[in-house]
Structure 1
Amino acid sequence: MRDPDVGKTINHPRAYDLLSSIAFLGRRREVFTRIAALSGVRPGDRVLDVGCGTGYLTRVLAPLVDPGGQVTGVDPAPKTIAYARARAPGACSYLMGRAQALELPDASFDVVVSSLAVHHVPAASRGAAVQEMARVLRPGGRLLIVEFSPPTTGLVATLARPVTRHALQPSPEDVLDELIPPAGGSVMVRGTLPPMLYYVSAVVK
């Protein structure tokens, strides 16, 4: 479903998880474990997952913040938030909300992650979404954004097309490089994760 102010939302979370497992060719856990490592999350950190969807990444991050940390997921889809809450470990909590209008205090998180979510935000609101991610980070906090960078031919492209057809255009590299500096982020690392992801890690001033 698409709301012009919210963007495309996930309203069939169980089907989405199944489709994601197929699209990642059975390597979803491996890939998201690497994303968690790239985030630099440490015990005691306060972590925000923007566009958390079914909560998959939050559940991977949760053991890394123990003891004393907390992972908060935010997503605009009621069914998806309910699905995530039903599977949440103790260190996870979930909120309804839009990436471009986070109802959270300034400088309240050590790390903000967003995986496969920016492409769901309406193009005109993506700058505001990244600015909100930066706003809720403490000075020196870490921002990690992961997006699809799908192949255009071959078996992987065919299998992944149902979930990657809305990938950032003209490319995630171009879009994210334009969005992060105006939000006060200094890009530290860029890279790719097989089979079809691009990531950028930044520090917020």
Structure 2
Amino acid sequence: MALGKLLHDHTGHTGEAGTIDHPRAYELVAGIGFLGRRREIFTRLAALSGVRPGARVLDVGCGTGYLTRILAPVAGPSGHVTGVDPSEAMIAHARRRAPGNCSYQVGAGQALEVPDASVDVVVSSLAVHHMPADARGTAVREMFRVLKPGGRLLIAEFRPPSNHLLTHLVGALTGPEMRHSPKDLLAGLIPEAGFHVEDEGDLPVMLFYVRAVRPAA
């Protein structure tokens, strides 16, 4: 059985989308998958996000809260980072490790319980591909809705290896969704939601990111 099948609960979902409900196993796999560089890479994501002291930040598909905990000291005591994830197990894990300016809620990216135009920065790392295919567009539109005009979006997704055999090996370990190009996954979703894409690029250990902004007017 693929490791992705062990980590994921696909109950009630079509295709390969689903929730991850084994936080300790996920943390172990993530540590191995990022070749010991996970904190370095996610610190770079935090820098790319544009979070500043005092910012209100939303992490969609926060999982164990790893990125929220890196963003928390950047936002500082006058800021706040909220993590949202559909998995109760992941949120429970995140809450046990939450800094004082972090909070977590169980919820789906396509139905955020967050007021309109109330967030300065939205981040989402390795989450969009877990969503049902027909819900991804709605989720990105929700990110647009909750951002203030001029607010910033950062989405990071898994980038399969360039080697064809390695790509299939990764798919066997993690599930078929991870075999696909993140550019194909995100290309239409972000601009169609109303965002202006500022830049995109690769990060070490097979990550691809897109930075975008909700237009000020």
Summarize the Cα distance change of 1:195–1:103 in structure 2 as closer, same or farther, 3 Å threshold.
Answer: same
Is the 8 Å Cα contact of residues 78 and 96 (structure 1) preserved in structure 2? yes
Tell me what 2:30 maps to.
20
Distance in structure 2 (CA, Å) of the matches to 1:55 and 1:193: 20
Tell me what 2:183 maps to.
173
Tell me what 1:4 maps to.
13
Is the 8 Å Cα contact of residues 50 and 73 (structure 1) preserved in structure 2? yes
Name the SS of the counterpart of 1:188 in structure 2. strand
Is the 8 Å Cα contact of residues 22 and 89 (structure 2) preserved in structure 1? yes
Moved over 4 A (4+): 154-161
The residue identity in structure 1 corresponding to 2:51 is V
TM-score norm. by structure 1 comes to 0.93
State the 1:103 CA deviation.
1.3
Identity of paired residues, percent? 62
Unaligned segments of structure 1, at least 5 residues: none
Distance in structure 2 (CA, Å) of the matches to 1:80 and 1:113: 17
State the 1:91 CA deviation.
1.1
Distance in structure 2 (CA, Å) of the matches to 1:133 and 1:172: 18
Q: How many residues align?
A: 204
Tell me what 1:47 maps to.
57
Summarize the Cα distance change of 1:158–1:179 in structure 2 as closer, same or farther, 3 Å threshold.
Answer: closer
Bigger mean CA deviation after superposition, 36-45 or 7-16: 7-16
The residue identity in structure 1 corresponding to 2:69 is R
Computed over aligned residues only, the root mean square deviation of the Cα atoms, in angstroms, reads: 2.0
Unaligned segments of structure 2, at least 5 residues: 1-8
Distance in structure 2 (CA, Å) of the matches to 1:200 and 1:190: 4
Name the SS of the counterpart of 1:21 in structure 2. helix
Tell me what 1:124 maps to.
134
